[in-house]
Structure 1
Amino acid sequence: MDEHTHADRPTQPAGGFTPSAALDPSAFYSLYLGSLALPDEDHRTHASIVLLLGGRLGLRPGEIQHLHEGWIHWDRGELRIPDRDPCACRLCWQTARHAQRAGDGRRLNEIITETTWGSPGGGRTIPFAWSQRLTAALATICEEEYLDLSVEAMAQLITASAQLAQGLDGDEIDFRNLRATGASFFADAGFPAHRVASLLGEDLDTARAFTRQEGGDAREQLFRLFGASPEEAAPEGTYVLLTDPEPFDGEPFDPREYDADWRHSRADAVAGDPDPLRNPRPVTNPTETTLDPSALGERTQLDSDSDLVADDNTATTLGQWVHEQDRQRRDGAAANSAVATDAATATAAEGSTSDTGVDDAEILDPYERIDGEPIATVETTVACGTIADGQPVPCRVVLGPESLLIVHDESMVATEHKRIDLSTVVGQSIDYVPSQFETTFDSTVAVAFDEGEGREIAVLGLSGNERINFANEVFKLILSECPIFVTHPARRGGRVTNKEPATGRLTVDDRSLTITSLDDQTADFTIHLSDIMHMETDRQTIDGEERWSLSIRHLGSDGAVESEITARDDRQYKLLRQFAKREYRKRKSQLRELTLTDDQKEVLVALYTADSHIDISTIISQQADNLQTILTTLEEAGLVRTGTNGTELTGLGRVAVNNKVEDVNA
């Protein structure tokens, strides 16, 4: 038996894991250090999170996969796993199919709408604020919206971490060991069996196998043990991972930053967000067997920044469904679809700017409803709550400088139409398809807008480059000459510059962000989307007010720099974040799927290490035609570009060097 497992406990099977499988504190410490030795930055981040949440909070793999900020009460420092969190992601469809094969007589859609997602252990509350490292791990997940890992990928990270850990057998450590370690930790903390059972979401017999002494309430007990000084709470450093926030070498976050003040600040920020996220996992297509997968594209119906999240998979109209979602998100109340209809009727009766078209018989030409010259006009299928009762119908869509007009059936005396002021647009999502319309749309642009009566959505059936170009035009119109605060550079080469935020204006185009400074101390600059190396949201205090900011690490004229951008208007900030992150996520996804040859790696490393003015053919042993072929393939992949100074790496190329070529000199 491994000396690092709890050999003094009963070994009978209990809920799929046994006390003898639990790692003692020193073994878990070694396992965590093993995760920090992984060469890939993303792997280190994900492995450390999985180990902490599984081995200290006892979470199941599915719970880690579905965890998001909607589960976290930052002020109280509690993780509140819901009894059910409506979800129709790819994993949930797999679960539904397994249930059907196992004898569940319901249709797949019924299993999804009635069951997924739900934890096998049911709803429960787990305190975490007593450890800044646990707080940091949860905050890191929230930064990514959710942890996009399969169970197999988590298992591989656990194994890889164990193989790099001292004194552990990498092939013998799996998720059962982690959950057993979590159960053992709670038992060692002094909780009685019923509290361990509730913390783990397990039966009482399983918990009894781990408990040895009675204790008190979980939150107070853990704060008593670990809220005190590390020496008092954990003599001889038994639980140094939990008691000492000092960061380790290679750790993906600095636990010292995630103290009580940070939690309360985060709680205030979340409370101040008028549209808090529910479940950010992408909704996937449930009818893959009847659709050509190549026609679906990248089914990222949900852009989590735009809050286009389906809580209901029933056959309701789009308008009812959106209003029901909004009420559930804001009030937590039960849905009542009649309210949405009443609200729409009342809005029209009061002369709202929401144009239902009922009293506008004279409006037959959509161009008359557009301010200025139309920028784009398409004829396609549209689903909008105020047109045709929210059902998909053929429409003409006209984008103008300040508004979007949707017109249905111009042959009618009273033409149905909807005019959406761009000043009311709060989000966009490419390829978002409400579940009730999956057989109608293959690819879309969904526009979310709020005219004061709650969030509404118009889904436009667009495909290929047309949908990208249309979405970009909307972004460009809304973000043109956007007033901002900018700190540039906030960091250069990893060094903080201590520059103060300056006022400026931002404009976006298809491939870049252009910042014009209104301060003599900050020069104008452009961020090419292909040069973005990392991006995250942050908080900045400007003129005594705390604001959300977008921190972007990118290539500048003199190497890598970091710039912080904050829009004065929260709506424009959110749209800016959405625009920039869409391309960044796309490129990160491409990078994960990218396979490089040794010759390509050699060229990338040469470009990374050499001065841009050096002819790399002088330092690479390749024939000229072969070298040109390699450079062409790298340019097509977005990793290099050729400019006035010769061939150089893009930001994505630099990320590729860091993440993909660690074995180039092996």
Structure 2
Amino acid sequence: MSESVVADFVGHFFAAGVRGEPPTGRIVLSQRRLVLAADEVKETIPLSSVFDVKVGQVPAEMEGYFNDTITIAYRVDDERRVAAVEGSDTNIDRFGTVLFKVLLNGTTALVRHPARLGGRVTDADAEKASLKLEHGSLTFKRKSGPFTVDLGTVISVERADRDLGNGPHPVVTFRHIEDGTAATSEVGIDSARKTNLLGRYIRLRYADVQEELADVSLDEEELEVLVALYSAGEGVSLSAVVDIDPQPLTLLLNGLAEKGIVVDTETGTKLTAKGRVVVGQRLESVNT
């Protein structure tokens, strides 16, 4: 392989030609291809043929062999094929991020940001941008200036037809919390394959946050305090905007801190990324 290698580790894999128990072999990823190699089987997957990547979903025929895995769907001529890779937790998580990076980094997209702020449609024009993916974030480099989206603050994501100046096309539309406000971004890519991959990556990180929030139970009073904290802004005392005595309020904030929803800083109590998502979902439910 002449091009530089960006990932190389030992793991189990399933690919074309594998029969029975998945072999242990090398998983090697470069900027152009993914190679799965063991003693009696070798599958080379050009990255230009990959149209979907799923994390944590095991092909039906492999359910008895795999637990956590990354599944890659790709085309060979007119045939659709599926490969699955499993390694240690650390390796597989890193591999997933690197794989999406190689597939998407540098992609040219049309971006309208923000398309909405809160419930208000903006007059923002769609701009060409170069996409840069990091673990948990997306950066769009535009002439008007780059912007970065923390995917830990995404509160909804969908694929819909939008006109970004080149006629109606499928775009990835997602709402996220930005500077304390729910913002909507719309991203269109000429390649349907890459549009699907971008949507998959955003949904993957969105699902991670939702899984964390599934274990968080908040009562009505806690939610009201979070919304008040969100609305108060910098330099405003929370005790001045909520009808709760100081001692019970302190206990409530301590409980929210233990849940990872708020954090104490030198300038006061602030919402964490998880907290901003909770508030964003709360506001969404009130406004719908």
Q: Same fold (TM over 0.5)?
A: yes
Alignment equivalent of 2:206, drawn from 581, 584, 592: 584
Matched, 1:437 2:62: yes
Distance in 2, Cα, partners of 1:534 & 1:641:
24
Matched, 1:648 2:271: yes
Matched, 1:401 2:35: no
Alignment equivalent of 1:478, drawn from 103, 108, 119: 103
Alpha-carbon distance, 1:656 to partner: 4.5
Larger Rg: 1
The structure whose residues are more often strand, as a share, is: 2
Tell me, yes or no, if the aligned pair for 1:516 and 1:524 is still in contact at 8 Å. Answer: yes
What is the CA RMSD across the aligned residues, in angstroms?
2.9
Alpha-carbon distance, 1:582 to partner: 1.6
Distance 1:568 1:653, change over 3 A: same
* Corresponding residue number in structure 2 for 1:190: none
Distance in 2, Cα, partners of 1:377 & 1:390:
24
Tell me, yes or no, if the aligned pair for 2:156 and 2:174 is still in contact at 8 Å. Answer: yes
Alignment equivalent of 1:517, drawn from 142, 145, 166: 142
Describe the superposition over 1:516-547 as per-residue Cα deviations: whole angstroms up to 9, x where unpaired: 113x3xx4211111221222222123454321
Alignment equivalent of 2:170, drawn from 545, 548, 557: 548
Tell me, yes or no, if the aligned pair for 1:600 and 1:630 is still in contact at 8 Å. Answer: no
Distance 1:592 1:561, change over 3 A: same
Matched, 1:371 2:3: yes
Distance 1:501 1:451, change over 3 A: same
Tell me, yes or no, if the aligned pair for 2:127 and 2:142 is still in contact at 8 Å. Answer: yes
Matched, 1:488 2:118: no
Tell me, yes or no, if the aligned pair for 1:480 and 1:507 is still in contact at 8 Å. Answer: yes
Alpha-carbon distance, 1:446 to partner: 0.8
Distance in 2, Cα, partners of 1:439 & 1:403:
28
Distance in 1, Cα, partners of 2:257 & 2:88:
28
Distance 1:481 1:618, change over 3 A: same
Percent of aligned pairs with the same amino acid: 25
Distance 1:541 1:605, change over 3 A: closer
Alpha-carbon distance, 1:579 to partner: 0.3
Distance in 2, Cα, partners of 1:584 & 1:505:
22
* Corresponding residue number in structure 2 for 1:572: 194
Matched, 1:561 2:202: no
Matched, 1:422 2:47: yes
Alignment equivalent of 1:499, drawn from 124, 127, 132: 124
Matched, 1:467 2:99: no
Alpha-carbon distance, 1:504 to partner: 0.9
Distance 1:376 1:537, change over 3 A: same
Distance 1:625 1:607, change over 3 A: closer
Q: Give the 5 Å matches for 1:251-270.
A: none
Distance 1:509 1:502, change over 3 A: same
Matched, 1:613 2:235: yes
* Corresponding residue number in structure 1 for 2:78: 453
Alpha-carbon distance, 1:394 to partner: 1.2
Alpha-carbon distance, 1:475 to partner: 0.5
Distance 1:385 1:501, change over 3 A: same
Q: Give the 5 Å matches for 1:257-336.
A: none
The number of equivalent residue pairs is 281
Please give the TM-score of this superposition, normalised by the length of structure 1: 0.39
Distance in 2, Cα, partners of 1:476 & 1:630:
37
Tell me, yes or no, if the aligned pair for 2:132 and 2:138 is still in contact at 8 Å. Answer: yes
Please give the TM-score of this superposition, normalised by the length of structure 2: 0.84
Q: Secondary structure at the match of 1:375?
A: strand
Which residue identity is paired with 2:128? T
Describe the superposition over 1:143-176 as per-residue Cα deviations: whole angstroms up to 9, x where unpaired: xxxxxxxxxxxxxxxxxxxxxxxxxxxxxxxxxx
The structure with higher relative contact order (CA 8 Å, sep 6+) is 2
